[in-house]
Amino acid sequence: MPELPEARTIARRLHAAIAGCEVAAVRLCRRDMLKSGSPRSLRRFVAQRWDRVDTRGKYVVLHARPGRLVVQLGMSGRLVLTESRQPIQPHTHLIITLSDGRDLRSVNPRRIAAGVHVLPPGSDDLGPLAVLGPEATDIPPAEFISALRSRRRAIKSALLDSSLLAGVGNIYSDEALARAGIRPTRRCDRISPSRLRALHASLVEVLTEAIAAGGSSLADANPFVDADGREGYFAVHHRVYGRGGQPCTACGEVLRRMVLGGRSSTFCPRCQR
DNA sequence: AAGCCAACCTGGACGC
DNA sequence: TGCGTCCAGGTTGGCT
């Protein structure tokens, strides 16, 4: 379940691995995973070189002259870099063969909220990127506060709304709320500006730590670009995520788990108000 | 307009 | 051991 830190880690590794490399062939194994653009627009990447790989929110963006290839990893997406002669594993949807004998493969078993978008250069259509709010790591505190302070909905659901804030998923929203001492159910307009400011600081802090933790595993000589973010999750200390029923690390109170807006939320009923 | 919620999908964990 | 059930979660679109 890659969120912003995992997408950044993947993009950084991928950039280091494929920038300047030429595309020899493109094979779309599952037509329905191409969400915008056509197979024809995908073929235009052949004989071109990758300029850059970066991210927008949770999306990994590969840049080349024919445009941008936007990979929406969704719940279970991975980008695998492997020798072209290696067998193709199940749930491989897109294979980009490089002229140096490697493949970049998009693999995704659960295809929820996942897909590939081709955005031609100069096009007004930004696909899924068009509706994204500011990057969670870059939004200034004042803008964060003004975007949230008058809303009536639960803070947790606002943090998860990618049109307000790009890149925050279920894990880091829970962690940021825990660090800031705010209950996930609390209405945005019932949180003081100073506490929203603290939440902004907590969010940036936890995302920054996670990005740093993902980067720390760059050193290993793993031929795969691991996109499930697992290393990152284990490297970062979790106060609440996945710890429902266990004691709060700060006060010892049993952490409570509840479903909010269709997703699980864990919080400390004593520390978070 | 803002916000809520179901639907999408499949591997893995868990219970009997 | 094996089967069934449930859960995880990002995004969209339809509804209120």
Q: What is the pLDDT of residues A135-187, one digit of tens each?
A: 999 999 999 999 999 999 999 999 999 999 999 999 999 999 999 999 999 99
For strand C, list residues 130-159 of chain A whose Cβ lies within 7 Å of it: 131
- Tell me the angle at which helices A170-180 and A193-216 cross, rounded to the nearest 10 degrees: 130
Closest to A59 measured CA to CA, from A68, A51, A50, A48: A68
Whether A2 is catalytic: yes
d(CA A210, CA A215): 8
> Can you tell me the mean pLDDT for A252-260?
94
Find and give the residue nearest to C12, measured CA to C1'. Answer: A113
Per-residue pLDDT, A229 = 44
Residue A232 CA: distances (Å) to CA of A3, A110, A202, A217, A236: 10, 20, 18, 8, 6
For strand C, list residues 246-265 of chain A whose Cβ lies within 7 Å of it: 259, 262-264
A112 CB and strand C closer than 7 A? yes
Whether A253 is catalytic: no
Closest-approach nucleotide to residue A74, Cα vs C1':
C10
Per-residue pLDDT, A216 = 59
- Give the lowest-confidence range in A1-5, A82-86, A99-103, A132-136: A1-5
pTM above 0.95, yes or no: no
- Among residues A56, A58, A156, A239, the one annotated as catalytic is A58
Q: What is the pLDDT of residues A191-210, one digit of tens each?
A: 999 999 999 999 999 999 99
Asked whether residue A231 carries a pLDDT value surpassing 70, the answer given is: no
Mean pLDDT of chain A: 91
